[in-house]
Amino acid sequence: MYEFEARIGDSLVQMADSDALPLSGEVALVTGASRGIGRAIALELASHGADIGVNYTASSSAAEDVAEQIRGLGRQAVVVQADISDGDAVSAMTKAVTGKLGTPTILINNAGITRDMLAMRMKSADWEAVVGTNLTGSFLTTQSVLRGMLRARRGRIITIGSVIGTVGNAGQANYAAAKAGLAGMTRSLAHELGSRGITVNLVAPGFIQTDITADLSDEVIGNVMQRIPLDRLGDPADVAPLVAFLAGPGGAYITGQIIHVDGGMVMG
């Protein structure tokens, strides 16, 4: 899936000298990096020269596979299990990444969960779980890296939101509220941190082919497709290059933005 090496003669060499890569010397912490969009982002950032803290919640084998691919690109990787809704676990994760790789200068708030149900039937535990991971967890993780970024007077905080945070969706009041909250958090932090050289942006994917969308029925997919001008579902590889751009030199004057990657589903 990810081809970053070129064959010269009988040996394999890295496609580019790491010193020439735009994220060389940077450390990125990617939450929910073991699969889907997080996995694609972690590998994309590594291909641009960053060392990666690979966070996961459940699948250690999937996270280790991502780390091995990162090391195959000539970058360093450390795998850290943490439930980001737990403040103590988040602090331990950041300390582990800092101890092994150095201070994170790039944070990708990607980890998220769903617990779908119509509002009148939604259990309070399902509301709290989704808001606790998707919104509070992203805040806790951001807070955990801020001290290092402030000392360095530079940083990139990129949060993965959702088109659902903009348009809403039946049966996803908890998810929509959390993702909409992330947009407000992004704008507030952009105001707060801009003078310290830290940019804060949110990337809001549309319907991307991941484990979550794999469970959708053909009827639901058909209805979704009618709302997408580009007439296809997205792929994690459609999201990752934008994140890498925002994390790199090209994103230096972009902050407080909500950028949709949705095939045209939301316009305006």
> What is the DSSP track for 197-235?
TEEEEEEEE-SB-STTGGGS-HHHHHHHHTT-TT-S-B-
Cα 139–chain centre separation: 13
Q: Which two tokens stand for residue 240?
A: 């990752």
Pairing of strands 155-160, 106-109: parallel
Residue count of the chain, please give it.
Answer: 268
Alpha carbons 135 and 175: distance in angstroms, whole number: 9
Tally the C-alpha atoms within 13 A of residue 85's C-alpha that lie toward its C-beta: 12
56 flagged as catalytic: no
Query: Which is nearest to 257 in space by CA: 178, 156, 170, 171?
Result: 156
Of residues 2, 56, 175, 253, which has the active-site annotation?
175
Alpha carbons 259 and 267: distance in angstroms, whole number: 11
Query: Which is nearest to 190 in space by CA: 256, 107, 247?
Result: 256
Residue 16, C-beta contacts closer than 8 angstroms, at least 6 positions apart: none
Asked if residue 239 lies in contact with residue 203, where contact means CB atoms within 8 angstroms, the answer is yes
> What is the DSSP track for 85-101?
T-HHHHHHHHHHHHHHH
Residue numbers annotated as active site: 175
